């Protein structure tokens, strides 16, 4: 029976990694022992590491153990028992009184330990070379250089405002090389923006997909592409078998395409690459499992700037080609001038070209119909038959479309062909891609009929005019790329001879003038941070859950807990949803971000529960109860720490979990109710610890809450248990209270921590670095690398931008400052430092700014600002 105890845990994050600690009151753990010899050797190796770190004076013993271990690694296993005895004896000699979790819990379960260097990653000899000189086989268009040298003059290009007056010779196209036109009906569905995901689905998306089934059935030459699996899977779950079979038939016939098939069309600026990949896998896996298809063309028309990381992820996940749209208009023009809008997108570090991804960049302002048939939006708008008179939307250029009739088809076809030819002139292949759609299009049956009937008349007319040398039809993205490859006599996705290689990315995006879309880099920062926290928890939960499932050889209750797998899926999908380009970007309505955040909060709770349950399973025999330390009251509240109540009668246990595959030694900070404590590592050895105050304002600290700092070492994918107990003042020689210094003003009359006034500059240091902070400005001035005795001067300033007084202002999307940044001045600066053997920090309080600088002493440089 489980003890009814208070329990506790905490999480600690940095980008891409995760640790947590959990606390339990019971000490009845019975670790699962691995009996194989490999496990035994790993266990010994781990202990050696600990011994090395903690007890350097015992060199002789270590040398003997290492010699034996070396024999073992050469295949001599005779000494295993001898070696184990030696290590065990050594531990006993270290006054080890307490039980401890066996170190095999640190062993990576899934991975071969030899894959990971214990001293760090070994870099290839090429790595530094790449940093120092240009890639010898690198791209012939490099975006960083292009951005730096291109004049952003924004001249008026005429009907194509951001381009030029395109001219062409009709003789370019011949019977042997006709212009191939693929008109691609599409509907861009944002999974949340000015409506929530559910509202959009109910109001629009489900009708779009219902109509799709009906109209693809009705119109045999019609095609359609649709990208967002979050909506598609929701719709699919509500369909009967007959409808599902129809959809599969359309896919088989190549008339329906689900390009990219990500859970969303991911943002490419704010999203962590890991989350970009997760949402791609989630969508693709769902599609393959439920519908049986895998896409190999990608479609990214709305994210606000395009990242080469997406090209890399797509390449590595089997995509052959991709399309992008939102790129700075001057870059589009620059590439279009030399017909370089199609290129092989290469990673800058790639020396072989194996990362090359065939990419099509759309040339004009937008992905709507006025900006996709050709350079003149006034003309293209007349070919958007949703805008026929009497409809809800009209053409802003005030010339409405008219239905295509026998009487007007000749003139209408010629005008449209002129646009197609001009657009084709910007590319090399004489195959032209014409998207036909917009946001949430095709939600009404009429729209399908109007687009289909009118376009089909135009196609029929064009195709019948043999001297026009054009073949126009509805198609998919795949059709386009296939035809291009055939035309260029390469396999789809391969580089045709005269196509450029491009390196770099397409940030920062501007759609016109100086409207730079970098406002969204910082919009709703609270939720951008929450995204990273959920991502870290999700990754950790997936690993912990997998480890527990693998260990669960007896198919226990844990194994049959389907609910946990469902919780994990919900969390993965909620995080995937948040990667949408109107979610993590912060460009959605207030109530929509609340909807996302509620899902993220639920995901956080789910993943914590999974980590907790998995850890419980792996680390105890069922008599212990684990939990995590942080709680959030609501989706918009910051986490609250629970305080571990220490006692001198009973030890409290804290479990640390490292979800990275490499060993880590980090300083952790746990909140406790006593300033004096004894911390023991997994071997029961007392380790160094430090107590820091929990500040309630600049000068006062809590007298019943304290931060307990100590160094935790956890193996790759490992879990370790440390214990903490309350101590009396001065009882533990390895425990220190931080000392407080006030460098400007300030005083403190509380009794716990020593303090003093120190009106000099502050120096913080560890074994490798020493830094200086000015007491006047409260900012970092100097960093000295002690190892090579090099000192660097540093200047830290806080600046701010004003907002323009014009109609268009900085907002969720745009950054429109009123000029250069101005320095933030503060009438006074309050500077306080807190120093201890493990961690020392300076906190400087200025007007609107708190500047924190911390130096940690856990090996390495560890400077946090």
Residues recognised as catalytic: 302
Closer residue to Zn ion (CB): 190 or 629: 190
Q: For Zn ion, which is the closer residue by CB, 190 or 482?
A: 190
| 304 or 516: CB nearest Zn ion | 304
Between 302 and 356, name the residue whose CB sits nearer to Zn ion.
302
* Minimum distance, C-beta of residue 709 to Zn ion, in the bound complex (Å): 45
What is the DSSP-derived secondary structure letter of residue 266? B
Task: With beta carbons less than 8 A apart as the criterion, state whether 142 and 504 touch.
Answer: yes
Structure tokens at 219: 């119109």
Between strands 735-737 and 719-726, the pairing is unpaired
In the complex, least distance from residue 188 CB atom to Zn ion, rounded to whole angstroms? 6
Cα–Cα distances in angstroms (integers) from residue 12 to residues 544, 584, 666, in the given order: 16, 22, 10
> What's the CA gap between 260 and 314, in Å, rounded?
8
Query: How far from 392 is each of 127, 215, 387, 472, 692, CA to CA, in Å?
Result: 58, 21, 7, 28, 64
In this structure, the strands spanning 342-346 and 357-361 are antiparallel
What is d(CA 60, CA 728) in angstroms, rounded to the nearest whole number? 36
Least separation in angstroms between CB 722 and Zn ion: 48
Considering the complex, state which of residue 142 and residue 190 has its C-beta at the smaller distance from Zn ion.
Answer: 190
Nearer Cβ to Zn ion (302/595): 302
Nearer to Zn ion, 455 or 596 (CB): 596
To Zn ion, the closest distance from the beta carbon of 294 in angstroms equals 24
Give the integer Cα–Cα distance in Å for 353 and 343.
13
When CB distances to Zn ion are compared, the closest residue is 302
Among residues 190 and 535, whose Cβ is nearest to Zn ion?
190
Q: How far is CA 119 from CA 645, 660, 662, 710, 769, in A?
A: 37, 15, 9, 21, 20
Minimum separation from the CB atom of position 193 to Zn ion (A): 7
Shortest distance, CB of residue 209 to Zn ion, whole angstroms?
17
Residue 736 exposed, middle or buried by CB count within 10 Å (0-12, 13-18, 19+): middle
CA distances from 400 to 393, 395, 403 (A): 10, 6, 10
Q: Which of 200, 309, 777, 414 is nearest to 209 (CA)?
A: 200
- CB distance 160 to 380 below 8 Å: no
Kindly list the residues in this chain that would bind Zn ion in the complex (CB under 5 A): 190, 302
Structure tokens at 673: 């109710």
Radius of gyration of the chain (CA): 32
Q: Write out the two tokens for 356.
A: 């090359």
Asked whether the beta carbons of 691 and 737 are under 8 A apart, the reply is: yes
Write the DSSP string, 268-293.
SSSS-HHHHHHHHHHHHHHHHHHT--
CA-to-CA dists, residue 89 to 78, 79, 636, angstroms: 19, 15, 53
How far apart (Å, rounded) are the C-alpha atoms in residues 529 and 531? 5
767, two tokens: 């074994």
Q: Is residue 320 within 8 Å of residue 297, measured between CB atoms?
A: yes
Of residues 190 and 350, the one with the C-beta less far from Zn ion = 190
Instruction: In angstroms, give the least distance from the CB of 45 to Zn ion.
Output: 52
Least distance between Zn ion and beta carbon 519 (Å): 16
Provide, rounded to whole angstroms, the least separation between the CB of residue 301 and Zn ion: 8
């Amino acid at each position: 029976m489980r003890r009814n105890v208070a329990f506790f845990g905490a999480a600690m994050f940095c980008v891409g990694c995760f640790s947590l600690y959990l606390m339990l009151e019971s000490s009845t753990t019975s670790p699962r022992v691995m009996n194989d010899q490999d496990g035994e050797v790993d266990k010994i190796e781990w202990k050696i590491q600990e011994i090395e770190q903690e007890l350097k004076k015992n060199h002789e013993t270590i040398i003997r153990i290492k010699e034996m271990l070396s024999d073992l690694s050469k295949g001599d296993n005779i000494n295993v028992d001898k070696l184990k005895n030696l290590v065990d004896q050594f531990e006993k000699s270290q006054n080890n009184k307490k039980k401890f979790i066996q170190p095999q819990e640190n062993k990576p379960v899934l991975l071969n330990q030899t894959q990971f260097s214990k001293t760090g990653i070994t870099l290839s000899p090429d790595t530094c070379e790449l940093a120092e000189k240009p890639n010898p086989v690198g791209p012939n268009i490099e975006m960083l250089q292009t951005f730096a040298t291109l004049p952003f003059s924004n001249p008026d290009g005429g009907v194509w405002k951001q381009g030029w007056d395109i001219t062409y010779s009709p003789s370019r196209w011949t019977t042997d090389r006709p212009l191939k036109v693929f008109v691609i009906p599409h509907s861009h569905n944002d999974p949340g923006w000015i409506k929530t995901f559910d509202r959009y689905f109910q109001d629009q998306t489900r009708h779009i997909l219902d109509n799709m089934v009906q109209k693809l059935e009705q119109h045999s030459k019609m095609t359609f592409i649709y990208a967002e699996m979050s909506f598609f899977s929701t719709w699919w779950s509500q369909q009967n078998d007959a409808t599902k079979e129809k959809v599969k038939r359309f896919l088989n016939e190549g008339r329906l395409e689900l390009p990219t098939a990500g859970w969303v069309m991911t943002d490419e600026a704010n999203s962590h690459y890991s989350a970009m990949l997760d949402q791609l896998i989630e969508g693709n896996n769902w599609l393959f499992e439920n519908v049986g298809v895998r896409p190999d063309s990608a479609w990214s028309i709305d994210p606000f700037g395009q990242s080469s990381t997406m090209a890399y992820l797509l390449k590595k996940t089997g995509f052959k080609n991709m399309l992008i749209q939102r790129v700075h208009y001057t870059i589009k023009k620059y590439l279009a001038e030399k017909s370089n809008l199609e290129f092989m997108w290469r990673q800058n570090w790639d020396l072989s070209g194996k990362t090359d991804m065939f990419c099509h960049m759309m040339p004009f302002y937008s992905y709507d119909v006025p900006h996709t048939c050709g350079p003149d939006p006034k003309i293209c708008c007349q070919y958007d038959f949703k805008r026929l008179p009497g409809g809800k939307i009209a053409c802003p250029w005030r010339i409405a479309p008219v239905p295509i009739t026998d009487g007007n088809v000749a003139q209408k076809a010629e005008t449209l062909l002129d646009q197609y030819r001009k657009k084709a002139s910007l590319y090399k292949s004489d195959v032209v891609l014409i998207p036909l759609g917009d946001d949430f299009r095709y939600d009404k049956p009429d729209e399908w009929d109007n687009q289909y009937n009118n376009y089909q008349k135009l196609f029929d007319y064009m195709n019948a005019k043999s001297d026009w040398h054009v073949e126009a039809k509805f198609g998919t993205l795949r059709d386009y790329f296939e035809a291009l490859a055939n035309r260029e006599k390469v396999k789809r996705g391969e580089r045709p001879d005269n196509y450029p290689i491009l390196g770099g990315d397409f940030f920062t995006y501007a759609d016109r003038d100086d409207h730079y879309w970098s406002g969204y880099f910082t919009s709703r920062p609270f939720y951008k941070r929450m995204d990273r926290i959920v991502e870290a928890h999700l990754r950790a939960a997936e690993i912990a859950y997998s480890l527990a499932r693998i260990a669960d050889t007896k198919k226990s209750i844990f194994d049959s807990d389907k609910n946990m797998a469902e919780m994990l899926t919900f969390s993965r999908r909620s995080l995937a949803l948040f990667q949408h380009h109107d979610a993590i970007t912060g460009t959605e309505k207030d109530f929509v971000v609340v909807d996302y955040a509620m899902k993220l909060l639920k995901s956080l709770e789910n993943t914590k529960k999974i980590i907790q349950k998995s850890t419980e399973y792996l680390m105890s025999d069922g008599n212990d109860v684990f939990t995590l330390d942080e709680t959030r009251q609501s989706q918009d509240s910051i986490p609250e720490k629970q305080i571990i109540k220490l006692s001198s009668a009973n030890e409290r246990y804290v479990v640390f979990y490292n979800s990275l595959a490499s060993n880590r030694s980090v300083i952790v900070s746990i909140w406790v109710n006593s300033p004096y404590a004894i911390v023991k590592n997994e071997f029961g050895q007392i380790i160094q610890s430090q107590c820091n105050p929990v500040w309630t304002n600049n000068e006062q600290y809590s007298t019943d809450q304290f931060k307990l700092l100590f160094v935790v070492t956890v193996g790759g994918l490992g879990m370790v248990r440390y214990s903490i107990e309350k101590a009396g003042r001065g009882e533990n020689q390895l425990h220190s209270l931080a000392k407080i210094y006030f460098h400007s003003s300030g005083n403190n009359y509380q009794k716990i921590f020593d303090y003093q006034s120190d009106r000099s500059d502050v120096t913080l240091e560890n074994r490798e670095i020493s830094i200086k902070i000015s007491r006047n400005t409260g900012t970092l001035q100097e960093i000295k690398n002690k190892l090579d005795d090099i000192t660097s001067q540093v200047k830290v300033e806080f600046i701010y931008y004003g907002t323009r007084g014009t109609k268009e202002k900085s907002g969720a999307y745009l950054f429109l400052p009123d000029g250069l940044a101005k320095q933030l001045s503060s009438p006074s600066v309050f500077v306080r430092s807190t120093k201890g053997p493990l961690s020392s920090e300076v906190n400087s309080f200025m007007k609107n700014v708190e500047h924190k600088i911390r130096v940690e002493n856990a090996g390495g440089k560890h400077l946090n600002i």
